Amino acid sequence: MSMSLIRAPYLDPSADALLAGTASPRKALFLDRDGVININHGYVHTPANTDWVPGIFELVADAQARGHACIVVTNQAGIGRGMYDEAAFLAYTAWMHAQFAARGTPLLATYWCPHHPEEGLGDYRVACECRKPRPGMLLDAAARFDVDMRASWMIGDKATDLEAAAAAGVEQRHLLQDDAGIADLNRLFAAMAGR
């Protein structure tokens, strides 16, 4: 299937400055959203339903201090299932980016896949290249931002996150299994990045 189904990422308003601040080819920290950035309450798409995973802002700050561009890659089948629309998702994403920026830890971009191969409605019911475990979103980010995938990281909360990263050539792939795990990931990231 053509990668033309991949939606343009939401680019942070500070994207140009963030890109100027990292050498090319650049390292990236890829982050799943639900379960890694925010607690997964199921199809989160409003600020009122958002609780941050403890330690996520510190992790992003550390990654940025070590020269990593922070990029979110998220399956959003709630769009395809008709639970919320693309406009609501993009408004929420802009709010989320603003929350990170307000803490001095801006995200570069959010890639998102609205499709589902069995439960998507209408045009959203498609087996696409962007829905994880396929690597389309990560490969698009690598091409768009000149990312060195071997020097990059992926943090997810599902095996499909790690499968997508492996297929895209990301060397460091870590599964966050509970909220307390961010502290351990911070230590691991600091140790690995310091080599």
Answer yes or no: is 141 within a domain.
yes
Answer yes or no: is 180 within a domain.
no
Q: Whole-model pTM?
A: 0.92
Look at residue 2 in the predicted model and tell me its pLDDT: 39
Active site includes 161?
no
Above 90 in pLDDT, residue 190?
Answer: no
Look at residue 30 in the predicted model and tell me its pLDDT: 98
Look at residue 112 in the predicted model and tell me its pLDDT: 98
Catalytic residue among 12, 34, 140, 161: 34
Across the range 152-170, mean pLDDT stands at 96
Answer yes or no: is 37 within a domain.
yes
Across the range 57-82, mean pLDDT stands at 94
Q: Which of 75-84, 104-113, 139-148, 179-188 has the lowest mean pLDDT?
A: 179-188
26 DSSP 8-state letter? B
Higher pLDDT, 65 or 139: 139
**DSSP characters for 44-98?**
--SGGG--BPTTHHHHHHHHHHTTEEEEEEEE-HHHHTTSS-HHHHHHHHHHHHH
Look at residue 15 in the predicted model and tell me its pLDDT: 96
> Number of folded domains in the chain?
1
Q: What is the CATH number of the domain that holds 113?
A: 3.40.50.1000
Answer yes or no: is 161 within a domain.
no
CA angle 42, 46, 51 (to 5 degrees): 65
- Please state, rounded to an integer, the average pLDDT across all residues of the chain: 91
Residue 25, domain extent? 3-147
Catalytic residue among 32, 62, 157, 161: 32
Look at residue 189 in the predicted model and tell me its pLDDT: 61
Look at residue 3 in the predicted model and tell me its pLDDT: 41
Q: For residue 36, what pLDDT band results from cuts at 50, 70 and 90? A: very high
Look at residue 181 in the predicted model and tell me its pLDDT: 62
Active site includes 32?
yes
Answer yes or no: is 21 within a domain.
yes
State how far the Cα of 53 lies from the Cα of 60, in Å rounded to an integer: 12
